[in-house]
Amino acid sequence: MNQTIAYQGVKGAYSEQACKHAYPHMTPLACDTFQEAMWLVEQGDADIAMIPLENSTAGRVEEIYRLIPKMALHVIGEHFEPVIHCLLGIKGAKIEDLKHIASHPQALAQCHNHIMELGLKAEAKLDTAGAAKELNTFNDKQRSAIASKLAAEIYNLEILKEHFEDIQGNTTRFFILSQKKYVPIFNNDKSYITSLIFQVRDIPSALYKALGGFATNGVNLLKIESYMGTSSLEGSQFHVDIDGHIESRALRLALEELAFFAEDVRVLGTYETHRLRKVVS
């Protein structure tokens, strides 16, 4: 049976490229929104979803942090996808022909210096692959787009310059989401991450006390993000990525202490660290 992986964007998006690299045997399903991609997995219409969580240049994806507390899915893995921006034109176009360039605002910002060097007029679009797709409809050698190599292949465009980004090493971290819970068997020779969310209790120094258990048990926090996760403004929710497996003794003790000072503690998942994590960090 053919397995499917849902992502947000049109064909040729960086998310689809990430799907193909991480799960080449699965069929990518394009969705209009992050919520639709996650909903397809919740309903059983897709096996897993590839959802971007943060980017090394642009920071966190705000919408995802609002959706995570509401979802009924489990995090079963992470994926790091290097973002290589390509300057695309129609077949036969040359860089000296160009006058206009279109892409997502973040991609335009990440290629700003090169755009200025070429003296191109930038136009913001909803996404990178959409800009590439639209380029075909103009059939104009003066127009270009910033998108992935995959988008160039799909829409039959010329790659005028690969690595068009100003700073190389730009990487996006994705969550792999599944309807089914999967926790890898604890192996001391492997590295794991446990992701969870919680809301602190309304008491003095609540966050300090909530995190104290990790310090006293020698547990390393890889990341902590705060955001308003409820309908009121009374308390913040926190997303934490922890260096460790949920079955390790140190982490179990730390979570026991966390429960005294936090509420609505929810473990999103435990999974192996991606091979590119140390390279990016």
Instruction: Tell me the catalytic residues.
Output: 172, 174
**Tokens encoding 73:** 């899915």
Distance from C-alpha of 28 to C-alpha of 93, rounded to nearest angstrom: 30
Q: Which residues have a Cβ under 8 Å from the Cβ of 14 and sit 6 or more positions away?
A: 81, 83, 128, 129, 148, 172
Dihedral of the alpha carbons of 86, 38, 184, 55, in degrees to the nearest 10:
30
3-class secondary structure, 182: coil
Please tell me the total number of residues recorded for the chain in this structure.
281
Environment class of 201 (CB within 10 Å of its CB; exposed 0-12, middle 13-18, buried 19+)? middle
